[in-house]
Amino acid sequence: MLKIVINGADDAGALPDLSILGDDLDIAFAGDARSLAAALPGCRVLLGWDFRGAELEECWGLAHDLAWIQWCGAGVDSVLFPELAESDVVLTNARGIFDRAMAEYALALILAWAKDLPGTLEAQARTEWHYRRTARIDGTRMAVIGVGSIGRAVAKLARDVGIEVTGIGRTARSGVPVFGDVADSESMAEIVAEADWVVAVLPKTDATIDLFDEAFFRSMKTGGHFINLGRGASLDEAALCRALGAGRIAAAALDTYKSEPLPEESPLWRQPGLIVSPHMSGDYHGFEPDLITLFGENLKRFRAGEPLINVVDKRSGYVRD
């Protein structure tokens, strides 16, 4: 029987119905490093149920039989330690599962700002009848930084409501789905200088760490809005606070951070003009069964010796188109 270890869950009660995977499986659960160490010998497949889990690196010396890891997050930086990156173990992720939800979240933020929902809630709390006019979003401009599947979902939804969208990737190229022509990172400052909305959906790589720094925010349009739904490592958080405090940009929203959960002492909690959410933009009611469905499809392919869905390029840290 094929042995599968589900890391990040103590028992089957923490997951949706696993019957779609079949009956001829030896499934073990490992909610912590100790149980993972006990379960790894003989394990061929690991399902990383907790996308933040980091126990595998500690137990890597026991993963002699491991051939494939299905990671239940779009980001894989918590599991992509050097020994795994250099091994022959195949790593797949949950690309595609969270795209639409994240795109809707970005649009919700844009609409909240355009219609001044924060101002309405503040006035309501003061029992103040504060009439004013609000903005329309059709004809405004968006820069999407990161043109993978999440970036494409954001761009499509934005265009559906009349926003003009430009995609920014590592290199300039044409024929990219949804975007068509994509600008390179060298053009980023010029593009964000004209953008009302900047949506960042980048993976964590050496090239993206602290990419959104003091110079980046100086290049943004005065009155522009910044949204980071990608990895927290890409943002210089202090630089963002300074940009908001100086009025160089109108507002920002973050869903990921360098340290999670965000510490109580972080100034981000109290920064005027900033919306802080707890890494929730992609999570929707019912996403867990969708993850198991994806894993089930990949499991069939694995057992049949067929190419897997969402294979991560372990050198770059993301799925290449």
Q: Write out pLDDT tens, residues 67-91.
A: 999 999 999 999 999 999 999 999 9
User: Residue 75 falls within a domain, yes or no?
Assistant: yes
Whether 309 is covered by a domain: the verdict is no
Range of the domain at 62: 2-97+285-304
Same domain, 110 and 229: yes
The model carries a pTM of 0.95
The per-residue pLDDT for 46 is 98
Same domain, 171 and 237: yes
Domain count across the chain: 2
Same domain? For 147 and 293 the reply is: no
What CATH number does the domain containing 214 carry?
A: 3.40.50.720
Asked if residue 197 is part of any domain, the answer here is: yes
Mean pLDDT of 9-21: 96
Residues 64 and 106 in one domain: no
Residue 109 and residue 93 in one domain: no
pLDDT digits (tens, 9 = 90+) for 197-233: 999 999 999 999 999 999 999 999 999 999 999 999 9
Residue 321 lies in a domain: no
Same domain, yes or no: 134 and 243: yes
Q: Grade residue 321 by pLDDT with cuts at 50, 70 and 90.
A: confident
**Pairing mode, strands 141-145 and 251-254:** unpaired
Residues 23 and 82 in one domain: yes
For residues 8 and 71, state if they share a domain.
Answer: yes
7-11 long-range contacts (CB < 8 A, ≥24 apart) are 7/36, 7/46, 7/47, 7/48, 7/49, 7/50, 7/53, 7/55, 7/56, 8/48, 8/49, 8/50, 8/53, 8/72, 9/49, 9/50, 10/35
**Model confidence over 221-279: pLDDT tens digits?**
999 999 999 999 999 999 999 999 999 999 999 999 999 999 999 999 999 999 999 99
pLDDT category of residue 14 using cuts at 50, 70 and 90: very high
Condensed to tens digits (0 to 9), the pLDDT of residues 139-173 reads: 999 999 999 999 999 999 999 999 999 999 999 99
Query: In this structure, are 198 and 165 located in the same domain?
Result: yes
The mean of the pLDDT values for the chain is 97
Q: Do both 65 and 84 map to the same domain?
A: yes
Residues 52 and 122 in one domain: no
